[in-house]
Amino acid sequence: MSLIWIIAILIAAALAILLLYIARRPDWFRVSRDIVIATPPEPIFAILNDLRRGADWSPFERRDPALRRSFTGPAQGPGSALEWDGNKEVGAGRLSLVDTTPPTHLTLALDMYRPVKTSNIVRFTLEPVASGTRLTWTMEGRANFIAKAFGLVCDPDRMCGPAFEAGLADLKNLAEAEAGSGA
């Protein structure tokens, strides 16, 4: 057997192992971060329940100063939606409030159109604690074969986690400032 055939067989075997490894990765991903905010849940819930307020704290909305936004549905609560179209970092998509349980839970549907077409669920959970409210921001969704392969080089937690942390810190500052000013 020639050296070229041996190399071809080794490459094919390595590729088969890689494809098998990718196929066996989890079919679901989850990114979650939390923070304690020194206010009761109600003022935090009010900010999150109004998608128009996202520009006040969301790190994703701040990545493109020319971001085009449009809002549909009611001003707050289930049925309200934000559609955006922005630069390559922000992409284009739709975020809609699908369920709320005031003042402790909000569930949103996140549909990205570009740069990658995907649909995920976003949840905000507000839990009263002694020092205020523990706010947890979670995003989860299905990982198809391409997403599993992409996850080898760009883990969703490492990609979105720091943005969640920055957004939660800005939301904390906003909610505490508004609560302190009586807003």
Query: What residues pair up with 71 in beta bridges, in sequence order?
Result: 82
What pLDDT score does 113 carry?
Answer: 96
What pLDDT score does 146 carry?
Answer: 80
Going along the chain from its start, the domains and CATH numbers come out as: 29-181 (3.30.530.20)
Query: By the 8 A CB rule, do 63 and 74 touch?
Result: no
* CA-based torsion, 68, 88, 77, 54: positive or negative: negative
Three-state SS string across the chain, please?
CCHHHHHHHHHHHHHHHHHHHHHCCCCEEEEEEEEEECCCHHHHHHHHCCHHHHHHCCCCHHHCCCCEEEEECCCCCCCCEEEEECCCCCCEEEEEEEEEECCCEEEEEEEEEECCCEEEEEEEEEEEECCEEEEEEEEEEECCHHHHHHHHHCCHHHHHHHHHHHHHHHHHHHHHHHHHHCC
Residues of the chain with pLDDT under 50: none
Contacts of 21 (CB under 8 A, 6+ apart): none
What pLDDT score does 19 carry?
Answer: 85
Q: Which tens digit of pLDDT belongs to each residue from 98-135?
A: 999 999 999 999 999 998 888 999 999 999 999 999 99
Task: For residues 99 and 106, give the distance between their C-alpha atoms in angstroms, rounded to a whole number.
Answer: 6
Work out the widest C-alpha separation in the chain, in whole angstroms: 81
What pLDDT score does 183 carry?
Answer: 59
Q: Hunting for tokens 């009586």 — which residue is that? A: 182
Query: What residues pair up with 126 in beta bridges, in sequence order?
Result: 135
Question: What pTM does this model have?
Answer: 0.85
